[in-house]
Chain A
Amino acid sequence: MMATITRRPSITRRISTFFYHYPGLSLFLLLLPPLAWLLIVYIGSLAALLVQSFYTIDPMSMLVKEEFTLSTYEELFTAANIDVIKRTVYLAAAVTVGCAVLAFPLAYYMARYANRRIKGLLYLAVMLPLWSSYLVRVYAWRLILVKEGVINSVFEQLGLGSVVEWVIDRPYIGGTGTSLASTYLGMFLVFVYIWLPYMILPIHAALERVPKSLIDASSDLGARPGYTFRRVIFPLAFPGVVAGSIFTFSLTLGDYIVARVIGNSVFYIGPAVSSNLSFNIPLSAAFTVVSVVIMVIYLLIARRLGAFDAL
């Protein structure tokens, strides 16, 4: 006769078994930290922001008066501030379009044609700028754009110095100073440069998910490549473009560094928020609420355009 040996299962095994039988409990414990973070740190600070924007500053003591009022919003919607908001939105929109136009062909090439090696190299090339400090890159661009910078000297060498001056004098793309570093165009270039990876990666991911057989099917049904692109590839990659544009748009909307280093000394939402922080927190908060509202409107439009249909 063999004696059966029963051994108590180890403590870790018993814990595993316990959680196996209560999947709801393990899910709760897993989600507790991220949800707490989201609710308290994220939503909480947004709510605090919203509340702050309905307070106002007491002109005598320069302290925040904690009672409900719309006077901060009255102050916000003065002509000068509306100009700031409009200018920022236009810039963010231009940067988004610029990024999308540059990113799409590259992402398309990476998803459709590049072999593994080239794809890896391109990934590296796209990600590489993100490894270095954002500030360093912005200041580097300043050196490229200033009057003594690379662009100017190249154009001068070619005898095309007047072209640069002509660009600087243009309304909407030019500026008030004497170099490209103080033009709208300069800001646009720097923003497109720093946010481009955030556009390429989601578009690439979206294009990767479009099965090859859909493209075959479209051409099988008589569609030439252009038609296939417009009716099949682009609509299916559109959620990726929207995802990317959420980054480029909101990052440009909130940025307060580029406008100071490169800008043409006019105000944008980001600098407006940061410069009001020290003496008018409610106005800063109201400016921030504006960018949140703009993003919400932006997402609603994107949904209208069918950006999330293919998800």
Chain B
Amino acid sequence: MNDQPAVAVRFRDVSRHFGDVKAVDHLNLDIYDKEFFSLLGPSGSGKTTSLRLIAGFEHPSEGVIELYGQNVTRLPPYERDVNTVFQDYALFPHMNIWQNIAYGLMVKKVPKKEREIRVADVLEMVRLKGLEKRKPSQLSGGQRQRVALARALVNHPHVLLLDEPLGALDLKLRQQMQIELKAIQQRVGITFIYVTHDQEEALTMSDRLAVFNHGKIEQVGTPSEVYENPATSFVASFVGISNILSGAAAEKITGSAQPFSIRPEKIRICPPDSTVSDDSCGINGTVRDVIYLGVNTRYLIEIGDGIDINVVQQNLEATSMDVLAARGRPVKLIWQKTHNRHVINEG
């Protein structure tokens, strides 16, 4: 029995330099077959370059890239069994929607009959039936996004690459497309590699994700692993909000200067004279600011030396009047020690 899934994409010590800039720096990564995998990171972190390396638009300065065990390092894009959904959609403006979607099939000289069936199939999947004759300029952003998806999927690639495909859509449409994309991925059963800077998007959709920073991967794991056990202070602060405490502040709380992170939703705000049990941490502070967010409220608690701790509380009973009145109040913050996560602080 071999329950290890096949590796769809493998980076072996891949670097890509642009002059002095190391866009991707000694990258090692396995992405498995049929996986929804996200490359998450801020702009300039190397995630898009990594995607372009898989597509073949960029070639590594060093290292090897494999697709299903085949070395594709030097192969041009048109020799690779992957397709891309571009950030700006890159639809051909001089072709109508049908011609755009059929482009890959025309290139591969797929017979007319089959071509028509396959284009009709994907048009149905992305719910664009009836728009075949339109030009891209006559569609809305959301519709163009679907055309770009259909144009890639119609080729039945083994791996679909998506470069921030929802970036230009408004929030509601984006959330709707996130669910739809995930459903389509499960339906067609192929590997999706998804580049995004939106940590919520990555957490929502991915089976696994890699967090990029400065051309390197900080952590690879499932969304819950990455969120609950951030490996580095960068991951802790980039994926969700975290309080990262180190040095004197950490020593004051835990008795050790080793840096750790604590999620704002794990912290309770208590009266200043509350007692702290052995399995908990506690620290006194003053409410410096209160940000009312509707569903919940974010508090900034100053614990001395100009250090703030973020606390998020659900507005279960509280009204905005109640929470805003907390400004300037002395409080004690208490949380269970088990929620502390030691992180590597690269400063």
Contacts and interface: CB of A to CB of B under 8 A. Distances in A.
Interface of A: 211, 213-214, 216-224, 227, 231-232, 235-236, 306, 309-310
B78 A216 contact: no
A219 B78 contact: yes
B-side interface size class: 20 to 34
B86 A227 contact: no
Nearest to B83: A220
Interface of B: 55-57, 76-78, 82-84, 86-88, 90-94, 103-104, 107-108, 151-152, 155
Contacts of A227: 107
Contact of B108 (A213, A216, A222): A222
A219 B77 contact: yes
Given A219-B78, A220-B77, A221-B104, A214 B92 contact: yes
A221 B88 contact: no
Given A216-B55, A221-B155, A223-B78, 8 more contacts: A213-B88, A216-B77, A220-B152, A221-B83, A223-B107, A231-B103, A232-B92, A309-B94
Given A222-B104, A223-B107, A235-B94, A217 B86 contact: yes
A125 B92 CA distance: 33
Contacts of A222: 78, 104, 107-108, 155
Given A221-B83, A221-B104, A306 B94 contact: yes
Contacts of B94: 235-236, 306, 309-310
Given A216-B84, A216-B86, A309-B94, A221 B103 contact: yes
Given A227-B107, A236-B93, A211 B88 contact: yes
A241 to B, nearest CB: 14
A23 to B, nearest CB: 27
A211 B76 CA distance: 19
Centre residue among A219, A236, A306, A309 by max chain B CB count within 10 A: A219
A306 B93 CA distance: 13
A223 B155 CA distance: 13
Contacts of B78: 219-224
A306 B92 CA distance: 14
| Residue with the greatest number of chain A CB neighbours at <10 A, chosen from B86, B88, B90 | B90
Given A221-B103, A221-B151, A227-B107, A310 B86 contact: no
